[in-house]
Amino acid sequence: MKVLVAYYSLSGYTESLAKAIVVALGGATSGGGGPAGDAAGSPPSGFRVELFEVVPAKPYSYFSAGVKGVTQAMAGTIVELAGEPPTDEGFEALVVLSPTWGWMSSPPIRSFVAALPDGAGRPAVVGVTHAGGPIGSFDRLAGLVEERGYRVLERLSVFCYDRAAIRAAAELTAAALRAQTG
């Protein structure tokens, strides 16, 4: 199963979660992403994993995230992204991860989700990292992904400073996707 692990991260916590998920799925995180596993045949885990960093065309600083990003997150603003969105053929299952900004998912992830191909029932895991107050950001992200036609298996909500929680969320994701491979 081809799994796309997409994330946006300003300060690195969501990136850590994304990379922990790639490892839990049996992939490698070095070399900047790309299909992971045994290039000569099927990877032993049964997953081919691609790590996909969502990059806004105008990157945020901590300052602009605070003064502008939160307002955009709460208003549901779509921002321009660098690079191309994933193609329909590019993945069979989706993992999409965002920091919580103003109790919502971040504008880059909202924009990424809006540009996704129709899910057509494909399985997905959504997740947020937060600093103690997600206040349902994971549910709202799950709603956006479901609106695009994906079947959300898990909604992760991870306190960003808790490394054990990051590992547990990665294991939960791998178990949920493994159950889909029959």
Ligand X SMILES: Cc1cc2nc3c(=O)[nH]c(=O)nc-3n(C[C@H](O)[C@H](O)[C@H](O)COP(=O)(O)O)c2cc1C
Q: DSSP for 12-46?
A: SHHHHHHHHHHHHTT---TTS-S--S-TTS--TTS
HSE at residue 159, side-chain half, CA atoms within 13 A, is 7
Please report how close the Cβ of residue 82 comes to ligand X at its closest, in angstroms: 17
Taking CB under 6 A as the criterion, the residue among 3, 4, 5, 13 binding ligand X is 13
**49 vs 109, which CB is nearer to ligand X?**
109
> Interacting stretch for ligand X, rule CB under 6 A, among 3-11, 20-28, 45-53, 173-181?
3-11
Task: Answer yes or no whether residue 59 interacts with ligand X by CB under 6 A.
Answer: no
Query: What is the C-alpha to C-alpha distance for residues 46 and 78, in angstroms, rounded to an integer?
Result: 35
Q: From the list 70, 78, 79, 114, which residue makes contact with ligand X (rule: CB under 6 A)?
A: 70
Taking a C-beta distance cutoff of 8 angstroms, is the pair 22, 16 a contact? no
Mapping DSSP to helix (H, G, I), strand (E, B) and coil, where does residue 177 land? helix
Q: How far is the CB of 10 from ligand X (least distance, A)?
A: 3
Q: Cα(49)–Cα(58) distance, rounded to whole angstroms?
A: 27
Residue 105 found at the interface with ligand X (CB under 6 A): no
**Piece of 30-38, 76-84, 96-104, 143-151 that binds ligand X (CB under 6 A):** 96-104
| Residues 130 and 137: beta-carbon distance below 8 Å | yes
Nearer to ligand X, 111 or 129 (CB): 129
Beta bridge partner(s), residue 101:
104
Retrieve residue 35's tokens: 């299909």
**Residues of span 149-168 touching ligand X by CB under 6 A:** 160
Q: Which of 3, 65, 126, 141 binds ligand X (CB under 6 A)?
A: 65
Rounded Cα–Cα distance for residues 170 and 66 (Å): 28
How many other β-carbons are positioned within 10 Å of the β-carbon of residue 21? Answer: 29
**Binding pattern for the stretch 119-148 against ligand X, x by CB under 6 A and - elsewhere:** ----------xxxxxx--------------
Q: Which residues are at the interface with ligand X (CB under 6 A)?
A: 9-15, 65-66, 69-70, 99-103, 129-134, 160
